[in-house]
A and B are shown apart, each in its own frame.
Chain A
């Protein structure tokens, strides 16, 4: 006994205070950092959002540029070796000789080995506004006119798929965020009211939740999206879709918040606050919601992938985002037919982005849940 006791360093003075001062936020951070999947997920997520933010910089040509001669060009890879086997330090693509095959009536794009278009980085291209504010005209990569370089291939109108994927990311990734903010507002406030006041109000809100949950979500969303006036601007549609998506999503959050508030209501600190004469408003916003906040964040993170998938599904069916605006679902709409997929498999590239986004949100959400609540799995 004595030997073990002597090896234990008793923490005292400033050391002890340092251990005790680890804030809950830092504890959560530490636990989160232990989860490798969650870390990897957050990195990919940051990359995805950065690519959406800098979509104009990444896109060599505007995403609405139509190019009749370059329809369904397969993805072109940058080349280092030319046909003669010479090595080029600067990667390049060959020019394309496009014509219609008179037997199949399909576009064929043969490489023209005479013309070489070197790929340059940070080239001058079309003008755009960085962050919507700063006028800018540099792009990550590009080739000189009249050359074309379709890294992800092109679609039925000769649109550059790189530009479309990243511009689509803007809508697909933000619609989930906006929807989740609305979900938090609806879900947290109604859940709190339901749990805190109880009684008839509680019963009413719970019945409404059960009622909304008994609808099949996608058919209901589709019906609401179809009921939108066709005269609405793309921006209005975008907001309307996120409102529609949060219309059902808030119910799950409201139930969880209600359960939390119900248990907080019985705790001593609520009683103390009430005894000290605090108003309901103060008890809810100063004592209860901060406690439930970590939970709300977790539920919200896990709700985003569902919204991204829902937007994708709606746009895929033609009820969501309309041209000229585009989103990942709207891009996948072209890939609806097997015959198209067999001939133009690169049209499925947006699907990888959808899966990556959903997967990373799930990993991050799972990591956050484990970090926030040590008793969960």
Chain B
């Protein structure tokens, strides 16, 4: 196991390095210097910039120095927890980011768990009832789920909530809990608000996972050992759940690493529509305001988390499936 983990860990570090390079390229892609954008932005807000302020920015990002120095300054600030400053909120990003990041992760992981809980039994049911009416029904529902853009579903939910229940569903907290310290009441309030984004983000993932589970199980059911299990006279339930499903689930663990990026992707847009206090709105306002340092930093942060997630998923896979060699 160790000889698997150590190289895999080193590889993860290399990937992190390349992720940061991509982030830095994106920061430097827009024409004009960051300084101009910064000055324009502050002037638009009505504050004039002083030479001293600009000087601080130049020093902070090393804007008067060669590109590799700029990269180094940015990355080392990054590692120390300095994520730059947000124009739109006029705060240090590190003040804004942690709670938002935690909420993003909470929504993403709950979504992931929900999709698995719903999709796997339905996939199994579809595979064992192949080409029956119920299978066709689930296939069609799944296809429709895949075809509706996430943000549209969010809008529909909001309209329904506004028309039927006469309440707004935006946000993750009721006003009275907005700035309250964490306690059980606040947690309960959060859970009451959270189901909408979780359901909205989870729809497309669930549909995809159902198709995949169905396909995998159908493939496994054709293998000879299933026939022999049936020939031995095992009850069908045991054949399916103990012998077939266990092997059909392994490929799904492999895609665990890639489904998290998709969920975070979907969650960023949905949180924009539902105005959730997650990282999504912060990221997109940064992009729209051309605050590229903040946006690039964020992108690297998200991608970095995903790289770690992939690493953990790989270890999980090797641990669950002994057939996988440590390569």
Residues of A within 8 A of B295 (CB): 223, 226
Interface of B is mostly: helix
What is the CB-to-nearest-CB distance from A361 to chain B, in angstroms, rounded to a whole number?
A: 9
**Interface-side segment among A67-75, A271-279, A332-340:** A332-340
Residues of B within 8 A of A354 (CB): 149, 152
**Are A226 and B290 touching (Cβ within 8 A)?**
yes
What is the CB-to-nearest-CB distance from B301 to chain A, in angstroms, rounded to a whole number?
A: 10
**Are B151 and A313 touching (Cβ within 8 A)?**
yes
B15, B266, B273, B292: the one contacting A336 at CB < 8 Å is B273
Asked if A33 CB lies within 8 Å of chain B CBs, one says no
Q: How many residues of A contact B (CB 8 A)?
A: 44
What is the CB-to-nearest-CB distance from A353 to chain B, in angstroms, rounded to a whole number?
A: 12
**Interface-side segment among B61-69, B73-81, B179-187, B302-310:** B302-310
Asked if A351 CB lies within 8 Å of chain B CBs, one says yes
Given A213-B261, A214-B310, A317-B272, answer yes or no on A219-B152 (Cβ-Cβ < 8 Å).
no
Given A223-B299, A336-B273, answer yes or no on A215-B287 (Cβ-Cβ < 8 Å).
no
Q: Which residue of A lies closest to B261 (CB)?
A: A216
A317, A336, A348, A366: the one contacting B284 at CB < 8 Å is A317
**Are B261 and A215 touching (Cβ within 8 A)?**
yes
Residues of A within 8 A of B290 (CB): 226
**Are B143 and A338 touching (Cβ within 8 A)?**
no
**What residues make up the interface of B, taking CB atoms closer than 8 Å to A?**
15, 18-19, 22, 26, 29-31, 143-144, 146-152, 155, 158-159, 162-163, 168, 214-215, 218, 257-258, 261-262, 264-266, 268-269, 272-273, 283-284, 287-288, 290, 292, 295-296, 298-299, 302-303, 306-307, 310
What is the CB-to-nearest-CB distance from A97 to chain B, in angstroms, rounded to a whole number?
A: 29
Interface of A is mostly: helix
A218, A227, A363: the one contacting B143 at CB < 8 Å is A363
**Are B15 and A332 touching (Cβ within 8 A)?**
no
What is the CB-to-nearest-CB distance from A200 to chain B, in angstroms, rounded to a whole number?
A: 15
**Are B26 and A217 touching (Cβ within 8 A)?**
no
A341 to B29, CA, bound (A): 36
Residues of A within 8 A of B158 (CB): 338, 341
6 contacting pairs across A/B (C-beta < 8 A) = A210-B310, A219-B302, A224-B29, A312-B149, A348-B155, A355-B144
Those of A176-230 within 8 Å (CB) of chain B: 210-211, 213-220, 222-224, 226-229
Residues of B within 8 A of A338 (CB): 155, 158-159, 162, 168
Q: Which residue of A lies closest to B12 (CB)?
A: A214
Residues of A within 8 A of B257 (CB): 214
What is the CB-to-nearest-CB distance from A208 to chain B, in angstroms, rounded to a whole number?
A: 9
What is the CB-to-nearest-CB distance from B283 to chain A, in angstroms, rounded to a whole number?
A: 6
Q: Which residue of B lies closest to A352 (CB)?
A: B152
Asked if A147 CB lies within 8 Å of chain B CBs, one says no
Q: Which residue of B lies closest to A223 (CB)?
A: B26
Asked if A358 CB lies within 8 Å of chain B CBs, one says yes
Residues of B within 8 A of A362 (CB): 143, 146-147
Q: Which residue of B lies closest to A350 (CB)?
A: B152
**Are B268 and A216 touching (Cβ within 8 A)?**
yes
Given A218-B266, A218-B268, answer yes or no on A305-B147 (Cβ-Cβ < 8 Å).
yes
What is the CB-to-nearest-CB distance from B92 to chain A, in angstroms, rounded to a whole number?
A: 21
**Are A214 and B15 touching (Cβ within 8 A)?**
yes
Q: Which residue of A lies closest to B273 (CB)?
A: A336
Among A214, A319, A355, A366: residue with most chain B CB under 10 A: A214
A224, A227, A318, A341: the one contacting B155 at CB < 8 Å is A341
**Are B215 and A377 touching (Cβ within 8 A)?**
yes
Asked if A309 CB lies within 8 Å of chain B CBs, one says yes
A316 to B215, CA, bound (A): 34
Supplied contacts A332-B152, A338-B168, A363-B143, 5 more A-B pairs, CB within 8 Å:
A215-B261, A219-B265, A338-B155, A338-B159, A341-B155
Asked if A342 CB lies within 8 Å of chain B CBs, one says yes
Task: Pick the 9 closest A-B CB pairs, nearest first.
Answer: A227-B29, A226-B287, A358-B147, A218-B265, A359-B147, A216-B265, A216-B261, A216-B264, A338-B158
Residues of B within 8 A of A216 (CB): 261-262, 264-265, 268, 302-303, 306
**Are A214 and B288 touching (Cβ within 8 A)?**
no
A163 to B299, CA, bound (A): 37
What is the CB-to-nearest-CB distance from A241 to chain B, in angstroms, rounded to a whole number?
A: 14
Residues of A within 8 A of B261 (CB): 213-217
Residues of A within 8 A of B283 (CB): 219, 222
A305 to B208, CA, bound (A): 13
Q: Which residue of B lies closest to A306 (CB)?
A: B146
**Are A229 and B31 touching (Cβ within 8 A)?**
yes
What is the CB-to-nearest-CB distance from B296 to chain A, in angstroms, rounded to a whole number?
A: 7
**Are A341 and B30 touching (Cβ within 8 A)?**
no
What is the CB-to-nearest-CB distance from B176 to chain A, in angstroms, rounded to a whole number?
A: 22
Residues of B within 8 A of A342 (CB): 159, 162-163
**Are A223 and B296 touching (Cβ within 8 A)?**
yes
Residues of B within 8 A of A210 (CB): 15, 310
Given A215-B306, A219-B299, answer yes or no on A313-B26 (Cβ-Cβ < 8 Å).
no
Among B147, B264, B268, B288: residue with most chain A CB under 10 A: B147
**Are A218 and B155 touching (Cβ within 8 A)?**
no
**Are A313 and B303 touching (Cβ within 8 A)?**
no
A345 to B149, CA, bound (A): 17
**Are B284 and A222 touching (Cβ within 8 A)?**
yes
